[in-house]
Amino acid sequence: MHTVKRVILVTGASSGIGRAVAKKLLAQGHRVIGTSRDCGQFKNQHSNFFPFEMDFSQLDQIPDKLKQLQKSHPSLDGIIFSAGYGQFGSLEQFSFSQIEQLMTVNFTSQAIITRALIPELKRKPQSNLIYIGSEAALKGSRKGAVYCASKFALRGFTQALREECGTSSVRVSLINPGMVKTDFFESLSFQPGNDKTHSILPEDIAETVSFILNSNHNIVIDEINLTPANKVIQFK
């Protein structure tokens, strides 16, 4: 039986990577606050899980939401940023509002959440900020101009933030996965191949998050890139 060790906010906890991370942390005895745009998606109850409704696309609502969260969970000492979505196509296929929306959810909202919570995190004996990026942050790709831009922005943000937090108790880490077998691809025209070597499982990301959280607190794991053994894309 694990004892409760940390109080961790997991964004996008209702599906995909965020769900796998939340389940892993709960199994290890951590207290997890899981965000979703619709908390009705959380079907199973757990004594250490606390659903928290928040829409990352509504930037004006985030500061007040986070004040509520800090008041309810003052012991918060870690954040796993898992929320995000993909949209691909040539730049001229994007409307102006679609560009703004993708950048807002995948980058700007995460910067705002970090800004709101980091002063208190710096007061903790130890704390972690772990961002789920993408291999799209490593190299621009055709029909990925806006999505890659959002992930490049997140990567640059974490690199700079890591320097800013170098003398504090906050450890900043970035995980860049390749194609992960989740609902991410439901609305897209492509997906990973069917063989198990063609994609990463959400549980693989959860294991990596656990590795970072449980590593020696005197070191910082800057960045981890995870890729399938074989990169195969199939079109629908």
Structure tokens given for 151: 């992930």
Backbone angles phi, psi at 18, to 5 degrees: -60, -40
CA distance 167 to 183: 39
Query: Where is 130: in which H helix or E strand?
Result: strand 127-132
| CB within 8 Å of 225: residues ≥ 6 apart | 135, 138, 176, 177
Q: What is the pLDDT along the chain (236 residues), one digit of tens a residue?
A: 445 589 999 999 999 999 999 999 999 999 999 999 888 778 778 999 999 999 999 999 999 999 999 999 999 999 999 999 999 999 999 999 999 999 999 999 999 999 999 999 999 999 999 999 999 999 998 899 999 999 999 999 999 999 999 999 999 999 999 988 888 777 777 788 889 999 899 999 999 999 999 999 899 999 999 999 998 888 87
| Rounded CA separation 15/18 (Å) | 6
Q: Give the Å distances, CA to CA, from 107 to 134, 142, 214.
A: 12, 20, 26
Alpha carbons 199 and 193: distance in angstroms, whole number? 7
**Domains located in the chain, CATH noted:** 7-235 (3.40.50.720)
